[in-house]
Amino acid sequence: MPKVFLKTYGCQMNERDSEQVAQMFTERGYTVTPEEKEADVILINTCSVRDQAEQKALGKMGHLGRLQKKRPEIVYGFMGCMAQSRGAELIKTVPHLDLVVGTQKYHRVVDHVESLIKKREESRMDDLRISIVDTEEEEDSQNTIRDHLNKNNKVSEFVSIMQGCNMKCSFCIVPDTRGGERGRPIEQIVEEVKRLVDGGVKEVTLLGQIVNLYGRHEFPAVDGKSPFVQLLEAVHAVEGLQRIRFTSPHPIGYKDDLIEAFTYLPKLVDHVHFPMQSGSDRILKRMRRPYTTARFVEICDKMKAARPGLAISTDIIVGFPGETEEDYAETRRVVEQIQFDNAFVFRYSKRKDTLAAEMDEQLPERVKEERNQDLLGLVNEIAMAKNHAMVGQQVEILCEGPSRNNPDTLSGRTRTNKIVIIEGDADRFTGQLFDVRIEDCTGYTLYGDPVIAD
C-alpha cells in the first residue's frame, strides 16, 4: 500500500486543506504516514505570508530530496500559497520537484500524483523528470474542501466556509494566492458539521480568510442579519454540537448583528481572535486597513459588553514601512489599553507584488527586531498576569486528549481558548466538557484538577 507524507506550514486554513488532501488519498487506498523515509509521495503545503515561511518550505523540500538517491520513484510536490505564487518557477528552483498545485486545486492532487506515477511507468527513459504545474483558477473550488480525515478521535475540527479575500491590504499576498471571496452554501456547511458531530466532534472552528465577510456577494441579509450571522445561527442549531469558534474576522465587517449574536448564541465561545495589525491610524492607512484605532477599540468594548469575560487575541505587525517611534508607541498604548489575552507579533516582511514592498522608508531589520521583542515582552506580561489571576477559579474545559508535550497528562481548552493540563484517565475524559479548578500556572499553560460532581 503506497504511503503519503504531508507537511503543513502556515495557518489553520492550510491545515484544513491538508486534511482534505489526506482524506482523498486514504479513499484511494494510500496510507498517510508521519515518517518521511517510508513515504512514496512527499507533499508540502506552503505559506507565503512571510518570507520565513517560504524559506522553511524550500529548505524542508531540499532536505527531503536526499531520499531520492535511494528511492528515485518518490513523487515530490508543493501545494498551497507559495505554489500558487511561484508556480513553474519552483520546478526550475527545486530539481527533484514533480508537482506544483495551487490553492484552488487541492481536490486535483491525488489525480495529478497518480498521473505522474503512470507516466513514469510508461516512460522508457529512467532519467526523465515529468512534472505537473496546476495553478489555474477553478470555479466553485470553495465547495471542494468538505471532507475530514477521521483519525485520533478528534473532538475539535476546522470547517472551511469560504475561500479568498477581496481586501487588498498593502502588505498581504493572500488575495493573489487565494483569489477572490467565494462562500459555500449554508446548507452544505451545516451538513458537514452534522457529520462531524455524528463522529464525536464537540467543537468546530469556522474558517475564512475574512470569516465575518462570508457570503456577502452570494447571499442576502435577512431581517438585518448578515449571511455570517445566519450561518452562526444555523450551525448553533446542530444538535450535539457544544462549541463554535471562528477565525479570523476583520473590523470592516464586524457589525452590530455579529456583536449581538454573542448575547443569544451560548455555543459561541468566550474568545475572538481579532487582528488589529497596528495601533497607529497613519500606519493603518498605509496598510490599507479601512478603520481607525478608535473604531477597533469600540468594537472590542462592545464585544466585551455583549459577552462579559470575553478574551480577545490579535495579530500585530511591527516595523511596517514608515513606522516611526511615535507610531510604534501608539501601537504599544493600544495593547495596554485593550489588554489582549494573547497577540501574535510579526516583523514586517516584504512580499512580492504588494504595494508595501515598493514603499519608501523601509525599516532596518534591527529596528523591526527591537520593536518585535519589546512588544512581545508587553504582550507576555499582560497574558501571564491574566493567566495567574485564574489560579483558584473554576472553569469549563473541553478535553482534547493526551498533551503534546507529556502524553501521560491530558490537555483541554477553556472557552477563552486557554490550555489547561490535567491528570486523569484518557478514556474517561477525552471528548468531555467538564469543570476544572485551576491550581497552578506557568506562563501560558494552566494546570488544573477536574471538579467531579457526586
Where does CATH 3.30.750.210 sit in the chain? Answer: 152-269
Question: Is the whole-model pTM more than 0.75?
Answer: yes
pLDDT tens-digit map of 12-56: 989 999 999 999 999 999 999 999 999 999 999 999 888 888 999
Per DSSP, the residues of 359-393 read: -S-PPPHHHHHHHHHHHHHHHHHHHHHHHHTTTT-
- The grid coordinates listed for 340 are 489582549
List, for residues 90-118, the tens digit of each pLDDT value. 999 999 999 999 999 999 999 999 999 88
Nearest CA to 451 out of 404, 405, 392, 403 is that of 392
Q: Which residue has the higher pLDDT, 180 or 283?
A: 283
Q: Per-residue pLDDT tens for 298-330?
A: 999 999 999 999 999 999 999 999 999 999 999
Among the listed residues 274, 268, 328, the one whose alpha carbon sits nearest the alpha carbon of residue 301: 274
CB 51, CB 87: distance < 8 Å = no
Average pLDDT score, the chain: 93
In the chain, the amino acid numbered 137 is: E
Range 234-246 average pLDDT? 98
- Residues 34, 12: Cα–Cα separation, whole Å: 19
Per 3-state DSSP, the chain is made up of helix, strand and coil in percentages (nearest 5) of 40, 20, 40
Q: What is the DSSP string of 38-54?
A: G-SEEEEEE--SSHHHH
Residues of the chain with CATH 3.40.50.12160: 3-134
Give the number of other Cβ atoms within 10 Å of residue 364's Cβ: 9
- Which segments of the chain belong to CATH 2.40.50.140? 394-450
Contact, 318 vs 372, CB < 8 A? yes
pLDDT of residue 175 exceeding 70, the answer is yes
pLDDT tier for residue 177 given thresholds of 50, 70 and 90: confident
Q: What is the pLDDT of residues 183-228, one digit of tens each?
A: 999 999 999 999 999 999 999 999 999 999 999 989 999 999 999 9
What is the percent of the chain where pLDDT is above 70? 97
Decide which of 3.40.50.12160, 1.10.357.10, 3.40.50.2300, 3.40.50.720 is the CATH code for 3-134: 3.40.50.12160
Q: What is the pLDDT confidence band of residue 141, given thresholds at 50, 70 and 90?
A: confident
Q: How confident is the model at residue 454 (pLDDT cuts 50, 70, 90)?
A: very low
d(CA 8, CA 245): 22
Is the pLDDT assigned to residue 128 strictly greater than 70? no
Q: pLDDT at residue 398 above 50?
A: yes
State how far the Cα of 116 lies from the Cα of 296, in Å rounded to an integer: 50
Q: What is the mean pLDDT of residues 367-371?
A: 97
421 falls in which pLDDT band (50, 70, 90)?
very high
pLDDT of amino acid 379: 97
pLDDT in tens, 344-362: 999 999 988 899 999 999 9
Pick the CATH number of 152-269 from 3.30.70.660, 3.10.110.10, 3.30.750.210, 2.60.120.260: 3.30.750.210
pLDDT at 127 over 60: no
- What is the second-level CATH architecture of the domain 394-450? Beta Barrel (2.40)
Burial class (CB in 10 A: 0-12, 13-18, 19+), 389: exposed
